[in-house]
Chain A
Amino acid sequence: MAQQTTGTTQASPQPAAPKPAPPKRPPLPTIPPELDALSIWKMGAPALVAMLKDPKSTLFQKAIACKKLSISGGKDAIPPMAALLSHPQLSCYARFGMEPNPDPSVDDAFRAALPKLSGKLQIGVINSIGVRRDAKAVGALAKLLEHSDTDIAQSAAASLGMIGGHEASRALQAALRQTQSPVFPVAARAMLLCAEDVIVKDRAHGLTLYRELSAETMPKPVRLAALRILNAAGPAPEYTNRWPAPTGEAAKQDKSGFLGR
């Protein structure tokens, strides 16, 4: 680097040192054919389904088949993937393939698998049920809120929050009365999600849920989130006479976006 002699004058730059030769880029690894996904990736859905059903198929082949079936799989791809939900390594691939498939048989398959699994594999299915917002699973998930494995209870709470609706909110309200950490904070966050869903369809009930979530017993981030919604929803009851929310035509014209109006 050139030495700076004064504030304005610079010494002449030193001759640049010869650049070292750039390191040779390592060649791309050779991919063993049995672990190359490209040929599987180019298969159509029927061949992929057949690959899943074939007992001679390798772990790798089944994994990539599930990945591709996440895009192209139809109803017939669901049973062979559901059969992998109990597989320690392939369960995640099966869920990867099933979760985005819009066919309702996916929900049936997840609900059917739920009581047959345990530990992380059961948690995975619980999570997928939540992502798909399967309202028919609310009863089964509500029972899992009391599971002795708190990881399972937490996942059940989270999925109930994602499913939303009155039934899920009732289950979560009960859980908030009965559970403690580590399930309680997850149930509180789940209730926050639930309230977000409920308030769109039933504003009064939604605000009730937010009021419960604003209690001092709630985890601070949840309480603050609920208070923000309640503040936006309008003044607290004791102030309503002093600053009444607009009604009738005035309310229709109010573009403030406040939920309270």
Chain B
Amino acid sequence: MAEKHGDVTRRGFGKTLAAATAAVGPAATAASAQIATPGPGQFGPVVVGNYRPVDQIVMGGIGIRSRGMADLRMLLGDERVKFVGIADVREDAREAVKSTVDGYYKTNECKMYRDAAEILARPDIDALLIATSDRWHGLMAMWAAQSGKDIYIEKPGAMSINESYAMADNVNRYGIVYQSGAQRKNQYAFEFAVGLARSGKLGRLTAVHADTAIGLGTVDEGGHSWWPEEKPEPDSLVFDWDKWLGPCLWRPYNSNYKDRGRGLFWDFHAGLLEWASHTVAMAQWAADMEHTQPVEYIPEGPNFRGDGLIERYTIRCRYANGIQLILRNHSWRLLGSCSNLFEGTEGWVEVGDSGRIEVSDNLKSLVPKKTGRAYDPTAEHLREFVSCIRSRTPPRANAIATCNTHVASHAAWIASQLNRRLEWDPEKRMFINDEEANRMRSRAYREPWRAEALATSM
């Protein structure tokens, strides 16, 4: 980013320089004018400060479609960011991003790439917005880290326990700022609930509950996996099937994968992490357990069949200090999706995506009179990421917190698939005395893809 250039590009000096020189002044004015007219309400809140183009963080994107496009619109509204390129295996997605970016900046400068390697090789890009499908997240994050680029990445961050560790190890090794798309960490209702838990208002914390809703039920509706009918592959310039498939096991092409329904296949799905990426992350935060994972996992109920087919489930996990982490898809108070409940000896709080907050009677006076979802937390989450790039501090959904959330969720999923109690050693990164479970910690990548990482214990 521009700050790399130095000591002379700090905000104050940039401001002085802009005022003192005609060369910088008009450019800055033009940029401000563009930012001030971001279009008809489709972009995120405009962040205006004393920032000058010389201070801007240069960003690119990989794999941006529906969810990523929402992130992109928020980023474009942030004056601290300049978005310059998109890599995608889909021609229509590349062109949609270019159109959005160029339309916002009123330029024709957003570059398009078919191969992520090309955008990773650009030395002028400081950070990446990565919003590919799940199967690519882990590898893309590792590549970005190895290229020295900061990362905002949609969740889930990894497809397996070992990939979670490999991702976090690479991010830490290369000193990268990483924020996963667990935007509820910047949403008021959830922050409030976490605050109650961490400030002792609930007394001694006994259990943190996470709504992991979908995940088990949608994995492999037809058993562990199946192959739809083979169709002719499209022109790779329009849709590169091999790169879309990426590190996943080979299977014959069918257009349904790219258009809909890939979540039905275990190969493309990260188990519980569709929602656990959010709700287990909040639970770990509330319990002050972001540095570790539960040590015990017990799937409860008669419905675990070992093939992924299940409608109602509870997975009861326990941290070493005795606090329970309970993953379940039932019995919530209907406060919206991605709910969390935190229970202590002196009270409880439950929140969800509606923004409403329910608490035990003794805590009602603490709840704001007006609750509800007043803003999109994604904007705040992205702003935090950009601020952390400038300060070089870890954001709330940093790589270590994300890794530990994912390891806990993957471990719970493995326990459910094996339908038995598992013990986990966070230090050794292994299940205790369960070879089958340990084998399920990883997924071998299809050639030629590889993760450059120190393998965990075999």
Q: B-contacting residues of A (Cβ < 8 Å)?
A: 28-29, 31-32, 35-39, 41-42, 60, 63-64, 67-68, 70-72, 89-93, 95-96, 98-102, 120-121, 123-124, 127-128, 130-133, 151, 155, 158-159, 161-162, 164, 186, 189-190, 192-193, 196-197, 220-221, 224-225, 228
Contact, CB under 8 Å: A228 / B175: yes
A-B contact count (CB 8 A): 135
Contacts of A64 in B (CB 8 A): 224-225
Closest A residue to B227 by beta carbon equals A35
B interface residues, tally (CB under 8 Å): 43
A37 touches B222 (CB 8 A): yes
One of B448, B452, B454 near A151 (C-beta < 8 A): B448
CB of A123 within 8 A of CB of B447, answer yes
Query: Closest 4 interchain pairs by CB?
Result: A38-B223, A124-B447, A221-B148, A100-B439
A36 contact from B222, B444, B452, Cβ within 8 A: B222
Across-interface contacts of A32 in B (CB, < 8 A): 229
B442 at the interface (CB under 8 A from A): yes
B368 at the A/B interface (Cβ < 8 Å)?
no
The answer to whether A36 and B226 have CB atoms under 8 Å apart is yes
Chain A contacts for B306, CB-based, 8 A: 42
Q: Given that A132-B458, A193-B452, A197-B454 are known contacts, is A60 also in contact with B227, CB under 8 Å in the complex?
A: yes
Report chain B residues within 8 Å CB of A121. Answer: 447
B307 contacts A31, CB within 8 Å? no
User: Does A99 lie within 8 Å of B442, measured CB to CB?
Assistant: yes
- Check if B330 is an interface residue, CB within 8 A of chain A: no
Q: How far is the CB of A3 from chain B (nearest CB, A)?
A: 16
B445 CB to nearest chain A CB (Å)? 7
Chain B interface helix/strand/loop/mixed: loop
A69 to chain B, nearest CB (A): 10
Residues of A within 8 A of B328 (CB): none
The interface residues of chain A lying within 8 Å CB-to-CB of B225 are 37, 64, 67
Q: Does B450 contact A (CB under 8 A)?
A: yes
Bound together, the chains give a CA A258 to CA B446 distance in angstroms of 39
CB distance from B180 to the nearest CB of A (A): 20
B32 within 8 A of partner (CB): no
Question: Are B447 and A96 interface neighbours, CB within 8 A?
Answer: no
B187–chain A nearest beta-carbon distance, Å = 23
Contact partner of A96 (CB less than 8 A), chosen from B145, B224, B249, B455, is B249
- A125 to nearest B CB, angstroms? 8
Least distance between A260 CB and chain B CB atoms (Å): 18
- Closest Cβ of chain B: how far from A215's Cβ, in Å? 16
**Do B454 and A28 touch across chains, with their CB atoms under 8 A apart?**
no
In whole angstroms, what is the CA distance A36 to B229 when docked? 12
Residues of B with Cβ closer than 8 Å to A? 145-148, 173-175, 220-229, 249-250, 256, 264, 306-307, 435-436, 438-450, 452-455, 458
Let me know if A127 and B146 touch, CB within 8 A. no
The distance from the CB of A198 to the nearest CB of chain B, in whole angstroms, is 11
A209 to B453, CA, bound (A): 17
CB-based contact B249/A63 at 8 Å: yes
Tell me if A72 and B436 are in contact (CB < 8 A).
yes
Q: Which of A38, A96, A225 makes the CB contact (< 8 A) with B173?
A: A225
- Report chain B residues within 8 Å CB of A96: 249, 443-444
CA distance A31 to B224 in the complex (A): 12
B contact residues around A120 at 8 Å (CB): 447-448
Q: Is the CB of A124 within 8 A of B174?
A: no
Contact between B222 and A38 (Cβ–Cβ < 8 Å)?
Answer: yes
**Whole-angstrom CA separation of A90 from B249 in the bound complex:** 9
The answer on a CB contact under 8 Å between B454 and A162 is: yes
User: Given A42-B307, A224-B175, does the pair A92, B224 have CB atoms closer than 8 Å?
Assistant: no
Q: A35-B226, A37-B226, A155-B448 are in contact. Are A92 and B249 (CB under 8 A)?
A: yes
**Chain B residues near A71 (CB, 8 Å)?**
436, 439-440
How close is A258's CB to chain B, nearest CB, in angstroms? 17
Is A92 a contact partner of B223 (Cβ separation < 8 A)?
A: no
Which residue from chain A places its CB closest to the CB of B251 in the assembled complex?
A63
Q: How far is the CA of A221 from the CA of B148 in the complex (A)?
A: 5
Query: Is B447 a contact of A127 with CB atoms below 8 Å?
Result: yes
| Complex: A155 Cα to B452 Cα, angstroms | 9
When the two chains form their complex, are residues A158 and B452 in contact, meaning their CB atoms are under 8 A apart? Answer: yes
25 CB-based A-B contacts, threshold 8 Å: A31-B226, A37-B224, A37-B225, A41-B223, A41-B307, A64-B224, A67-B225, A68-B224, A70-B439, A71-B439, A71-B440, A92-B250, A93-B249, A99-B444, A102-B458, A121-B447, A124-B448, A132-B458, A133-B458, A158-B450, A193-B452, A193-B454, A220-B148, A221-B145, A224-B174
Q: How far is the CB of A163 from chain B (nearest CB, A)?
A: 9
B142 to chain A, nearest CB (A): 10
Candidates B148, B250, B307, B453; contact of A193 at CB < 8 Å: B453
CB of B170, distance to nearest CB on chain A (Å)? 9
B442 with A100: CB separation less than 8 A: yes
Minimum C-beta distance from B176 to chain A (A): 9
Shortest CB–CB separation between residue A244 and chain B, in angstroms?
Answer: 27
Do residues A225 and B445 form an inter-chain contact, with CB atoms below 8 A?
no
Beyond A31-B226, A64-B225, A121-B447, is A190–B174 a contact (Cβ under 8 Å)? no
Q: Are A38 and B307 in contact (CB under 8 A)?
A: yes
Q: Are B447 and A190 touching (Cβ within 8 A)?
A: no
Q: Say yes or no: A133 contacts B455, CB within 8 Å.
A: yes
B418–chain A nearest beta-carbon distance, Å: 9
Bound state CA distance, A128 and B451, in angstroms? 10
Q: Enumerate chain A residues within 8 angstroms of B445, measured Cβ to Cβ.
A: 92, 127
Pairwise interchain contact B147-A221, C-beta atoms closer than 8 A? yes
| Residue in A closest to B147 when the chains form the complex, CB atoms | A221
B228 engages A29 (CB within 8 Å): yes
B444 to A131, Cβ gap below 8 A? yes
Q: Shortest Cβ distance from A119 into chain B, in angstroms?
A: 9
- Given contacts A155-B450, A158-B450, A190-B452, are A36 and B458 in contact (CB under 8 A)? no
Let me know if B447 and A196 touch, CB within 8 A.
Answer: no
- Measured between beta carbons, the chain B residues less than 8 angstroms from A131 are 442, 444, 455
> In angstroms, how far is the closest chain A Cβ from the Cβ of B358?
26
- CA–CA, A71 and B160, complex, Å: 14
Which of A29, A37, A196 makes the CB contact (< 8 A) with B223? A37
B237 to chain A, nearest CB (A): 21
With contacts A36-B223, A127-B447 known, what are 19 further pairs, Cβ within 8 A? A28-B264, A36-B222, A36-B226, A41-B223, A64-B225, A92-B446, A92-B447, A95-B444, A98-B444, A100-B441, A101-B439, A120-B447, A121-B447, A124-B446, A131-B442, A162-B454, A164-B454, A190-B452, A221-B145
Bound state CA distance, A72 and B440, in angstroms?
10
B444 touches A128 (CB 8 A): yes
Q: Which residues on B sit within 8 Å (CB–CB) of A99?
A: 442, 444
